[in-house]
Amino acid sequence: MGGTPGQGRQAGGTPRAALADLLAGNRRFVSGQPIHGHDVTAAAAASGDQQPYAVVLGCIDSRVPLEAIFDQTFGAICVIRTGGHVLDRAVCGSIEYVVGQLGVPLVMVLGHERCGAVGAAVDALRTGERPGGSLAYLVDEIAPAVTEIGLDDPAVHPLAIRRHVRRTVRTLRDDDLLAGPVATGRVAVTGGLYDLATGEVALLDPG
């Protein structure tokens, strides 16, 4: 793993270099030695064009601010957040844009421990009470991961969190406009899990 900040930011960078950069940023965050944490200023924001090297899809959870946990500055990563990192057409179109138009080589789907959205899906299936409004969409999209684990499993919540990340990764790899660049290796779609207690991001194998 190369740890040099900015390694993955060269034009035409590889998925491997992008992932190394992202994880190096997380290590800086975990070690309490961020290089960008002090630099969240208007001057830094105005300092240049964007040349993002990764897009991270994460949850809306207020404990998981994605630029901070990867120690990234302005212009470095594109961030999309929805409850339980649930996909819809706007999310997929946004990822297609950054991969296709901005040449980004890495898509990371980042779940996190104690995810309330996954918990809501567990509760809905357990009680049979589907929430109203558009919240029902979130629950419906997460429910298959819960069902695959099974409500009888005492660890259904943490296991469904991981399963839902893997399902989201698979859906994106099969996306109409992403499948081609994924097949050639120009783009990688990777799943990760954020530990709220330690701040560490662990990669999830495809499972």
Q: Which residues bind Zn ion (CB under 5 A)?
A: 59, 61, 115, 117
Query: Taking the mean position of all CA atoms in its chain, how far away is CA 116?
Result: 16
Find, among 68, 62, 36, 181, the residue nearest to 115 by Cα. 62
Task: Report helix, strand or coil for 196.
Answer: coil
CB 98 within 8 A of CB 52: yes
Give the Cα separation of 19 and 16 in Å (integer): 5
For Zn ion, the closer of residues 143 and 188 by Cβ is 143
Task: Specify whether the CB–CB gap between 51 and 9 falls below 8 A.
Answer: yes
Whole-number Cα distances in Å, 194 to 4, 72, 77, 90, 171: 22, 16, 17, 24, 20
Smaller CB separation from Zn ion, 64 or 106? 64
Residue closer to Zn ion (CB basis): 103 or 119: 119
Nearer of residues 55 and 59 to Zn ion, judged by Cβ: 59
Closer by beta carbon to Zn ion, 18 or else 138 = 138
- One-letter amino acid at 28 equals R
Tell me the closest approach of the beta carbon of residue 94 to Zn ion, in angstroms: 19
Q: How far is the CB of 66 from Zn ion (least distance, A)?
A: 12
- Nearest distance from C-beta of residue 161 to Zn ion, angstroms: 8
